[in-house]
Amino acid sequence: MADFKDITGHEQIVKSLKESIKNNMVSHAYIFCGLKGSGKKLVADAFAKVLNCRNMQNEEGCGKCHSCIQFESRNNPDVFYVKATKTKSISVDDIREQVIEKVKTKPYSYNYKIFIIDKADTLTVQAQNALLKTLEEPPKYVVIMLLSQSMESFLPTVLSRCVVMKLRPISAHKIKEYMIKLGFNETNARFYSQYCGGSIGEAIRLSKDEDFYTMRQDVINCLIKLDSLDTASVMLMAKDIEKYKLYPELFDIMYMFYRDVLCYKVLKDEERIIEKDKTEDIKKQAKLLDEKAVSKRLEAILNVKKQIKQNTPFQLSAEVLFINMKEN
């Protein structure tokens, strides 16, 4: 389980949480908002650990006291992970049973009673209203942390009583360094860091997803074949990749491939190629296509990403994309 010092990125958030501890200004309610895998749980856990640590050092949990040890084994009697129990949403009953009932009594052993509510964007309106009373008049020993992928589902009354901290995407470079520390080789670390949208959790998830790997192979093979196919075959290819339409990275893969082609064409430096395992294919494409054609392909891919967002049917968009790319 992470301490503040182990968290990659989010420096401002960590700094401000540490300051609040140092200055005795800890709030009663926080919203940590960030995409899936962005590190919300790590930040909340590190914060919870230090808040109840009995031997805090430089605003870090000591890892040795009774509280830290209990926390590490998920047995700290004053830290509660609130979950939906009956449906996918966190209901008013969940909040009553798992928060409101428990808030009434003082912490068992430590300074704070801490409630970490993951997937807080699934709190129903009734559940939020139930929580509101605690947010309005929190006992001094209560800290509530709401972890959420977006802000839209929160009632304004809830939002106004929470300190909101937004976890920004982490740079690909930092993610790469972090993955190398975890034991990934440089090539893989660099590769997944480019596809994860700034989220370490997502980078790690992708690295374990064999379907992602197969999809990428297929998509890049399509691009390699593209110029040798007639229109009918291109249409078939567009139909064939429809099976990957739920992968948000699909067009990023195409973009990254031509980005490497362009980069190699201009700089003639193999070192700058991100998709190292495709180096030979990238060099071949760089020979085959002129600079203008590659730029146009990149532009066409960006356009199709926009169209898909506006709900243009996938297969149609893919057909138009391939045909446009072939014409260039």
- Nearest CB to Zn ion, comparing residues 76 and 128: 76
Least Å distance, CB 181 to Zn ion, is 24
- Sequence-separated (6 or more) residues with CB below 8 Å from residue 20: 26, 27
- Nearest CB to Zn ion, comparing residues 62 and 163: 62
Least Å distance, CB 47 to Zn ion, is 13
Of residues 252 through 281, those in contact with Zn ion by CB under 5 A are none
Q: Which position among 21, 68, 256, 261 is part of the footprint of Zn ion (CB under 5 A)? A: 68
Q: In what order do the strands lie in the sheet with 113-117?
A: 79-82, 113-117, 142-148, 29-33, 163-166
Residues 145, 20 contacting (CB under 8 angstroms): no
Least Å distance, CB 324 to Zn ion, is 60
DSSP of 38-81, one letter per residue? Answer: SSHHHHHHHHHHHHH-SS-BTTB--SSSHHHHHHHTT--TTEEE
Task: Tokens 């700290």: give the residue.
Answer: 76
Separation between Cα atoms, residue 280 and residue 286, nearest integer Å: 10
320 binds Zn ion (CB under 5 A): no
Q: Which position among 1, 62, 100, 226 is part of the footprint of Zn ion (CB under 5 A)? A: 62
According to DSSP, the residues that pair with 80 across neighbouring strands are 115
206 binds Zn ion (CB under 5 A): no
- Nearest CB to Zn ion, comparing residues 50 and 318: 50
65 binds Zn ion (CB under 5 A): yes
226 binds Zn ion (CB under 5 A): no
Site string for Zn ion, 14-53 (x = CB under 5 A): ---------------------------------------x
Tokens for 161?
A: 């009583």
Binders of Zn ion: how many residues, by CB under 5 A? 6
The number of angstroms, rounded, from the C-alpha of 200 to the middle of its chain's C-alpha atoms is 7
From the list 11-19, 59-67, 109-117, 194-202, the region that binds Zn ion by CB under 5 A is: 59-67
Separation between Cα atoms, residue 92 and residue 82, nearest integer Å: 12
From the list 66-74, 166-174, 183-191, 225-233, the region that binds Zn ion by CB under 5 A is: 66-74
The helix-helix angle for 231-240 and 210-225 (nearest 10°) equals: 170
Q: Which residues bind Zn ion (CB under 5 A)?
A: 53, 55, 61-62, 65, 68
